[in-house]
Structure 1
Amino acid sequence: MDAETLADLLSAQAERDPELRHSLELRAATQSGDVSEAHRLLDTAVTDGNAEYTAKVGAVLDTLQRMLDAGSRADLAPLARRTVDDISEVLEQTGDHTGNLADRLDRAVELYARACAARPPDPEKLADWIIEVEFDGPGRPVIDLAEFAAALGEPGLRRIKSTVDDVLAANGPGHRRDVAERLREQLAEVLGDVDELVAILSAKPPRVDVSLKIVRVLRAAGRHSEAIAHAARALTHDKQPPPPEPEDETSRYRKAFDAEPGRETYAALREAATKAGKWTAQRRDALACLRARAAEGIEQADELVRVLLDDGRPDEAWRACVRFGASGELKLELAEQRAAEHPAETIPVFRAHVDELIERKDPQAYQEAARRLKLLRTLHKRAETPDEFTAYLAALVENHRRKTRLITEIRTARIAIPKAVTSPRTPR
């Protein structure tokens, strides 16, 4: 049996066996080095369970690592960055039930850093991404600036430093300040500013690990006498207990949200916590509450999706929409927004809408169904699955061939009906 025949048989069997098809998809992504295939896996992974999602992401990461190890000339940074963002969103929404997804995220960040070093992106755009992840993200991943230093260069590092300085100058407590202080320390290390780094470390509460780091920094800079003096002071330092943290001024808004979780109380909490510089932590807890409620019904799911849209996070809103089963109207609204960039994700939503329109048995609904079919044809083409549309259309026409008005509208929309179903049915 020749290879072509074997491939045809395997393809036919995969159409009948979803598990085999999934296995072949993963193998294609991990062995072909096809970046577009890796993107397609990410497009479809959102509808899978947590374990399946982890497997698909692992396949994408394998592709990235193999291509980087081989010195590929392809620009892999966009795929790597998308993978980081994708895993981060899934972790925030669903947690890490398998225990492997957090490790995948760390690996994705490492590969993104390598991809940036191989083909440096715009340094200021890279800096903006790091700033967004660190200050406005869900708390992970935690970026190590040293890994991205070469790609950031002076312009990128300067941009991050400007943001860090602004946050510290605002003198507000909370998550943003904590992040700024950590990045300030990393910047001093990356830029080789020994005096700045020693000053930062010296301002921390006295701990053995901090003192040892100061000694190492001074010795590495050739300042041995200062290193010895600091070590001596550290040994005799009288440690004081850390002062208690000030009372959270957003507690009143948090109590209101906890009493009645919803879009309005969430918005009020967001405004108060943002002013206090504590929104990231508050947001994580508030969204966890809304996600728990979203599992109770469509109304609660819609509210979560609307909250995420209000937050300016359409990708997270889409994932919540799919995971918790938002209303058909809201699904359609989001699908229309995402269709251009994520065609594979939105195809099931538009197919369901076509079914709904046909069930109305109304001439105007048939006309709208034909328009949606035309859109589906375009989406399948963008997703590089035109054969799937042909099979889908053939089955749809076969199921509804007695609805002559529908068939007429499909033809009027200039959608070619597969020949297998255009001929009259053979009398029985």
Structure 2
Amino acid sequence: MTHELGFTEGDLRRLAGARSFQRGLGYLTAVSPLEIGDGTVAATVDGTDAYEVELSEGEDGLTGGCDCPYGQEGNFCKHCVAVGLTVLGQAESVPRQRAAAMSRARQLDTWLESRTRDELLSLVREHLAGDRDLRRRMELRAATAGDDLGAVRERILSLLDTGPFARYGYIEYADSHAYGQQAAEAVTALRTLTGSGRAADAVEVAREAMRSLGRTYGEIDDSDGVIGEVAAGLAQAHLDACLAARPDPERTADWLVEHLLGDLNDATDIDLADYQEVLGEPGLTRARELVVSAWRSNPKGWAEKYLMERLLKAEGSVDALVAVHAADLSPTGATHLVIARELEQAGRAAESLEWAERGLREVDPGHGPDSDLVDFVCERYSRAGRPADVVAVRRDVLLNRRSLAAYQDLRTAARAAGGWGDTERAAALDVLRADGPPHGRHGHGDGYGHRGAALVDALMDDGDHDAAWQAAADGYADQRQWRALADRLRHRRPADALAVYLRHIEPLRARTGDSTYEQLTALLLSARACHRTLGTEGEFAAYLAALRVDQKRKRKLMSMLEAHGL
């Protein structure tokens, strides 16, 4: 039977992937009766909603479409799998059903061809009266075929109206797909206008359509990007109309710059560079005047700066682009890095490195340096055979950013330079120790992630666990680190590790919840391991018995303890 269908269960598994295929098995009973046509199969699958599925067989093999969120992203979803498996399960009857479908289609064609014009009009009007979506599409086609631009404009803007879908003043995720399907018709209408020789009209209406969507885009849950695709479609329809109509280049430049500097371009994301052919030399000159003027008036404005950058990149003006970036330098050094990369791309490596080094010097210690800037400089030093300079940079970073990552980077650099000896390591650890013990000597470190904790992390990362334990005892460790140290040293220092586990168990007694019970169970298992090493299992048994009595009302915890033999 597979030769009739053109696909197998293996094809379904390959198209969907193992996970979706497995999930599709659970939807076999949710598939409605199949509608089998010539090369297609349609069905409804009841899931979170009732989803429409259509499988098609063509020269490239089997394809599937579903209006569920995952399917609308172009994936062969679990609902497609369920329909495909249902088809395979009815393989013997498929040829007969397909032949019957073809016979019905021929019969319908014959019947339609035998109707008079008035009868066909009556039939169409009957369906238009009962199908609002069909009526709206037909009204739009009628408007675009006529000469009434006002009617076309009104119809297209009505398709972008969020009102019917925004039940609470906001289009929720569940309604965004339906709105997107309606809004997409506006894109089709604009393309139809252009294709029918009315490109100039399409230019004007497209601009209004983009403004309309731009005003409401922030009030739509577009998690799947459906509305974003509509916005991109409107922008492309506008560009295509401009290419066909060739509107006044200077006026087009005025509109473009105004749109790009406004806050309505977030949805359409138009790029000035795409309009070079439309603008020509006069339009580009006008656009440059407007952009430069806007940037000079507000050099720190994000939109002005970005537009100026795009314009200069298109022109290849590296020095002018550097000047734009240099007018608003980030305190982290990130802007210096942008400049360095632009110069390097232009083949000006020496200037590139100078800007990157300047970024390290000028960085605000409270904000930086930007880690990518540091990596950029160190990589260039390494290429130039300057390992000592890499170490110097990494050393400065550690002084400013006392973290495990900074310590690891310095260690790697020093080893590459052959200088990670006792002196360099001791100096690096002293930097991490410089803040002093956050919790006081012998503190238990009840907090998490304090600055001084990097010392303990570094010592553990070095494998110097005894030194890490001493640092923890001196007050440098937080709870996470105490637990990690106890886990690593419990075979060598079972009594010390046991004290840590018991200390961490106590506050959990008063708490509830699965996460708490899981933590408590894990700590008890670790404590039992320590007692076994110490040979004091009886002491642990007494402790556990008392704890079980104290916690007996927590049934979930009791079940977890039983499952782990506690």
* TM superposition score normalised by structure 1: 0.44
- Higher RCO, 1 or 2 (CA under 8 Å, sep at least 6)? 1
Structure (1/2) with the larger strand percentage: 2
TM-score for both structures, normalised by structure 2:
0.34
Q: Larger C-alpha radius of gyration, 1 or 2?
A: 2
